[in-house]
Amino acid sequence: MKKKIFKDDNSSFKERALKLANKEGFYVAIFLCITLVATMLVYFVNDNASNKDIANKDTAIVEQETTDPVDNTNAIIDEDTIGAEEPATETATQVDKTTKEEEPKTEEPKTEQPKEQAPQSNTNLKDMVSPVGAKEVVMAFSMGGEPVYSQTLQEFTSEHTGVDLKAEEGQEVKAALNGKVTKIYKDGKLGQTIIIQHSNGIETRYSNLEEKVAVTLNQSVSAGDAIGKVGKTATFESEDPSHLHFEVWQNGKCIDPSEYL
Ligand SMILES: [Zn+2]
């Protein structure tokens, strides 16, 4: 009996123990699962945070490197994408965006050439301003018509392709119309000369200037802009009173400027 009871007791103990073990095992399993999930969550959050720190440090490095003329940035960004995964690639694209945004700003001043449009406007000879202010003519225009007397040559000539406007030596000479400087040269007869091209086939020429001029080749000028000073460089007009030799050409023919001054 005792044995039996013991056996029964033993078997029932085992059963109970097993049941208990099963029950507790179940709870333990759940507990372990929860702790595992919790640890994973904590680890994941910490890992993410540390990744962000790394990423922030990396952006600082990448930003410094972009100022370096040597192209090391690509290598650094590649290393980052392998090590820090998503945050690093994000920063890489951000760096690309910022560098792209900065580029157009540096190019803007190069495109700013508002004066280039000046010759595009329609040139009207009636808008002409006197290059020396005064309109007093020392020697008139003559082209095959009525001859004019040259004090320098001491003879009449019917080949004076412009007008000699009275002006003091050293006086400022101004552009008569909006245009572009196409030639600066020393003429054998008329001395230091500037040619300005306007629209509608019109050209103005300024001679007997000082050798030092105030404009450069291809420079755009507006009517009234100073281009040089009256000199004494025209050998064929050296004995005439101090003046500017001024010519106006239209479609390859010289015309009398005094009609428009
Ligand atoms: Zn002249």
Q: Of 5-9, 19-23, 159-163, 195-199, give the lowest mean pLDDT range.
A: 5-9
Confidence class for position 195, pLDDT limits 50, 70, 90? very high
Ligand 1 center to residue 217 CA distance, Å? 23
Confidence class for position 198, pLDDT limits 50, 70, 90? very high
Provide the whole-model pTM: 0.55
Ligand 1 center to residue 190 CA distance, Å? 7
What is the DSSP-derived secondary structure letter of residue 72?
-
Ligand 1 center to residue 258 CA distance, Å? 13
40-54, 122-136, 202-216: which is most confident:
202-216
Q: For the chain, what is the mean pLDDT?
A: 73
Ligand 1 center to residue 123 CA distance, Å? 24
Ligand 1 center to residue 179 CA distance, Å? 22
Ligand 1 center to residue 143 CA distance, Å? 12
As a three-state string, the secondary structure of 32-54 is HHHHHHHHHHHHHHHHHHHHHHH
Q: Which spans in the chain are helix H? A: 2-67, 73-84, 86-111
How do residues 26-44 score in pLDDT, each as one tens digit?
554 555 545 555 556 555 5
Confidence class for position 235, pLDDT limits 50, 70, 90? very high
How do residues 80-127 score in pLDDT, each as one tens digit?
444 444 444 444 445 444 444 444 444 444 444 444 444 456 889 999
Ligand 1 center to residue 117 CA distance, Å? 31
Ligand 1 center to residue 236 CA distance, Å? 8
Helix (H) or strand (E) holding 117: none
pLDDT at 35: 53
Mean pLDDT of 67-79: 43
Ligand 1 center to residue 169 CA distance, Å? 15
CA gap 215, 194 in Å, rounded: 9
Ligand 1 center to residue 118 CA distance, Å? 28
Confidence class for position 253, pLDDT limits 50, 70, 90? very high
Ligand 1 center to residue 229 CA distance, Å? 16
Ligand 1 center to residue 122 CA distance, Å? 28
Ligand 1 center to residue 237 CA distance, Å? 7
Nearest Cα to Cα of residue 180 among 206, 207, 124, 219: 219
Mean pLDDT of 207-229: 97
Ligand 1 center to residue 76 CA distance, Å? 72
pLDDT at 185: 98
How do residues 131-188 score in pLDDT, each as one tens digit?
999 889 999 999 988 999 999 999 999 999 999 999 999 999 999 999 999 999 999 9
pLDDT at 25 over 90: no
Ligand 1 center to residue 225 CA distance, Å? 22
Ligand 1 center to residue 160 CA distance, Å? 6
pLDDT at 23 over 80: no
Ligand 1 center to residue 250 CA distance, Å? 18
CA gap 26, 37 in Å, rounded: 16
Ligand 1 center to residue 38 CA distance, Å? 101
pLDDT at 236: 92
Ligand 1 center to residue 180 CA distance, Å? 22
CA gap 115, 178 in Å, rounded: 10
